[in-house]
Chains A and B, each alone.
Chain A
Amino acid sequence: MSIAKTFLGLLEAGPRHGYDLKRAYDERFGHDRPLAYGQVYATLSRLLRNGLVTVDGIEPGGGPERKRYAITDAGVADVDLWLGQPERPQPYLQSTLYAKVVLALLTARPASDVLDVQRAAHLRLMRELTRRKAAGDLADQLVCDHALFHLEADLRWLELTAARLDQLGAEVRR
């Protein structure tokens, strides 16, 4: 999952310090793999260099200065592009999809569009595999079936998530 895109999505909801970003990321998406501080500041440096975030303010303190980061228009456009593009269908992409759905809800975008675009991408690949299977030998059929069952599991997750969007929206905005 792209840490940079996720940071941008979190910053779109409002400016944050690096530490706040890490905490928000860990709480929502980190689960048992929290971000290292090095990753946080390396990612923010890259986003700054690329003009996707800007330093919104600096607070002097007893320790090191605390920079507050804000998303730029280019950053918002980058989030738009990312959310609008389907992920390449592959097993175990739920964490990225989950992040996209949550960020769409957080930023008041239509999360159902994220799911629709992904469903269409999954079905397109499933059609290709089905055609390959219909024209292939038993080995082709088994290989394609394996992929098809995994993709189907993703799609079932997408449908379930679509049915729970209102509930999820209420939770993430709480």
Chain B
Amino acid sequence: MSAGEPLLSAEGLRKAFGPTPALEDAAIAIAAGEVVAVMGPSGSGKSTLLHCLAGIVRPDAGRVLYRGRDLTACGDAELSALRRSEFGFVFQFGQLVPELSCLENVALPLRLDGAGRRDAERRARAWLERLEVAELAAKTPGQVSGGQGQRVAVARALATEPRVLFADEPTGALDSLNGEHVMQLLSAAAHDSGAAVVLVTHEPRVAAWSDREVVVRDGRTRTTALAGA
């Protein structure tokens, strides 16, 4: 990847689920350290776009380039390794493992990436502190509130220090105040770690934490450049 090239980009993306088209010639480019909000109404294709960018869903046509590598040409094992080591994920409902403590949840991706238990837990504890939920370390996800659980999920997503954080409606299940807090912490932590963020949201106040927005409508991406912006 040369200087000036986007970290992650896609062009000509098409994806249909059966007879239903989800993406139609979608395109996007994200620079390192940039926070890009992907906006659009329900069913517009924004989550499908995120899944294609993250190598979770294979597009029917088009290319996804990550650091110069075409993800659509990668095998499943290669994609899986990439997602584990270079990408982080936060979903609407934290998706923490209910049987594990919050500390173990955050340590889990580090363990999967080969870290020893003590090292993984030390780093996980630091991330829980960074997200202001250190006191929840020993609790299970069922014992914490929605907002606290989302902060643990953000800690888990950033623990491996990913180059790209994919966040799909990360505050969708939270009230305004908790959503605000999660976005403030997510945005600051991602900025400090230098991670690019792809933030899927239909909420303008969440999108306002991004550097810019890409709008998806009927599976097509639209960007608007403002004069003087």
Contact = CB atoms under 8 A, between A and B. Distances in A.
A148 B205 contact: yes
The majority secondary structure among interface residues of chain B is loop
Interface string B194-221: 0000000011110111110101010000
Contacts of B215: 116, 119
B210 A155 contact: no
B206 to A, nearest CB: 10
A167 to B, nearest CB: 15
A109 interface: no
A163 B224 contact: no
B210 A156 contact: no
A130 B224 contact: no
B41 interface: yes
Given A116-B215, A120-B229, A163-B41, A152 B224 contact: no
For chain B, which range describes its interface: under 10, 10 to 19, 20 to 34, or 35 or more residues? 20 to 34
Given A123-B213, A127-B210, A134-B184, A152 B204 contact: yes
Nearest to A85: B227
B77 interface: no
Nearest to A121: B226
B222 interface: yes
B205 A123 contact: no
The majority secondary structure among interface residues of chain A is helix
Contacts, number: 51
Contacts of A86: 226
Contacts of A117: 224, 226
Interface string A2-40: 000000000000000000000000000000000000000
B207 A159 contact: no
A127 B208 contact: yes
Contact of B217 (A123, A124, A149, A162): A162
Contacts of A83: none
A156 B205 CA distance: 11
A116 B222 contact: yes
Contact of B41 (A116, A148, A159): A159
B226 to A, nearest CB: 5
A126 interface: yes
A148 B184 contact: no
B190 to A, nearest CB: 14
Interface string B177-191: 000000010010000
A122 interface: yes
Interface in A127-151: 127, 129-130, 134, 148-149, 151
Instruction: Give the residue among B203, B215, B225 with the most A Cβ atoms within 10 A.
Output: B215
Interface string A65-109: 000000000000000000000100000000000000000000000
B205 A126 contact: yes
A126 B208 contact: yes
Interface of B: 41, 184, 187, 202-205, 207-211, 213, 215, 217, 222, 224-226, 229
Given A117-B224, A152-B205, 19 more contacts: A116-B224, A119-B215, A120-B213, A120-B224, A120-B225, A120-B226, A120-B229, A121-B226, A124-B226, A124-B229, A126-B204, A126-B205, A126-B208, A129-B208, A148-B205, A148-B208, A151-B204, A155-B204, A162-B41
Please give me the 6 A-B residue pairs with the lowest Cβ-Cβ distance, nearest first. Answer: A126-B208, A120-B224, A155-B204, A130-B208, A116-B224, A152-B204
7 contacts: A120-B224, A123-B207, A126-B204, A126-B205, A148-B208, A151-B204, A155-B204
